[in-house]
Amino acid sequence: MTYTEPAWAKLNLTLDILSKRPDGYHDLRMVMQSISLKDDVTLEETECAGIRVTSNFHFLPSDGSNIAVKAANQFFERTGLSPRNLAIHIHKEIPVCAGMAGGSSDGAAVLRILGRLWGDGLSQERLEDIAAGVGSDVPYCVRGGTALAEGRGERLTDLPPLPPCFLVVCKPSFAISTPELFSLVHLRQLRCHPDTAGMQSALEAGDLEGVAHRLYNVFEDVLPRKYAQVFDIKRVLLDAGAMASSMTGSGPTVFGIFHDRSRADTAWERLRSVFPQTYVCTPVGKVV
């Protein structure tokens, strides 16, 4: 038997950095949103020893450094269940190194499959606790939907869903180093912070305009000039009629929120000719 699970990409509607922790991580506060861009993760129990990963992206690691393998190993270790021999295939559509949690979402999909197969009685909270040992974004990716993420990203609070809209998502050809961006953040010098409470209120009211007006990612304030294309993409989205635009995660992917499909398609056409990894997406609700 084979089991296939969607692994949804995520966007940051807000991203705020609150403080640096003694463990070297940062305390964050983020409003996260799943979108319809996805990978498909297929899992099969086999007779070959160990856990093997394949992908249509042949440059991805196939050993224990792959987050899907880490997730499976963590599941068996934390539950005390006997490890199984598994073949995992990841058909990727989410761009890599994009700030959209593609790898984390793949790991989360593996956890959801294993939880259904062998985690009888395993609670949602327990599965997310296991996910926290895999990576900071993985607990959110297990849950999905619209959520407030705090701490390293592992403390989650469900929020009302993002109102219906279209999201044009554009990843330029370069990658941005997350450690590099964190090294540039000097907390006392950050000029602005997201209005997280206002974002939550707008979601509760189903106010798409209010949500759009509160998109904010503090990483944009420290982005070096060599990544200026991020702001070029934002301008194209806004010129095409986006209500607002922001970078997601540590970038470089940029997205815009649109009321109607025709304007979203116009933005997609303008960007796609230069940036092949451009997509028109919709919000996705809570996964589990």
Predicted local distance difference test score (pLDDT) of residue 64: 80
Q: CA 231: distance to chain centroid?
A: 20
The pLDDT > 90 percentage for the chain reads 84
Predicted local distance difference test score (pLDDT) of residue 112: 97
Q: Which domains does the chain have, with CATH numbers?
A: 2-158 (3.30.230.10), 166-284 (3.30.70.890)
The per-residue pLDDT for range 195-240, each reduced to its tens digit, is 999 999 999 999 999 999 999 999 999 999 999 999 999 999 999 9
pLDDT at residue 23 tops 90:
no
Exposed / middle / buried, residue 276 (Cβ in 10 Å: 0-12, 13-18, 19+)? exposed
Q: At what angle do helices 67-79 and 124-132 cross, to 10 degrees?
A: 120
Predicted local distance difference test score (pLDDT) of residue 59: 84
d(CA 251, CA 175): 7
Whether the ω angle into residue 283 lies within 30 degrees of 0, i.e. cis, is no
Q: Which of 183, 159, 116, 112 is nearest to 104 (CA)?
A: 112
Predicted local distance difference test score (pLDDT) of residue 247: 98
The 3-class secondary structure across the chain, one letter per residue, is: CEEEEEEEEEEEEEEEEEEECCCCCEEEEEEEEEEEEEEEEEEEECCCCCEEEEECCCCCCCCCCCHHHHHHHHHHHHHCCCCCCEEEEEECCCCCCCCCCHHHHHHHHHHHHHHHHHCCCCCHHHHHHHHHCCCCCHHHHHHECEEEEEECCCEEEECCCCCCCEEEEECCCCCCCHHHHHHHCCHHHCCCCCCHHHHHHHHHCCCHHHHHHCCEEHHHHHCCHHHCHHHHHHHHHHHCCCCEEEECCCCCCEEEEECCHHHHHHHHHHHHCCCCCEEEECEECECC
Tokens of 279: 């997509």
Which residues are marked as active site? Answer: 10, 137
Task: Give the confidence band of 261 by pLDDT, cuts at 50, 70, 90.
Answer: very high
d(CA 145, CA 288): 9
Average pLDDT of span 102-121: 95
Predicted local distance difference test score (pLDDT) of residue 188: 64
pLDDT at residue 288 tops 80:
no
User: Average model confidence (pLDDT) for the chain?
Assistant: 95
Predicted local distance difference test score (pLDDT) of residue 1: 80
pLDDT at residue 187 tops 80:
no
pLDDT at residue 17 tops 70:
yes
Considering the entire predicted model, what is its pTM? 0.95
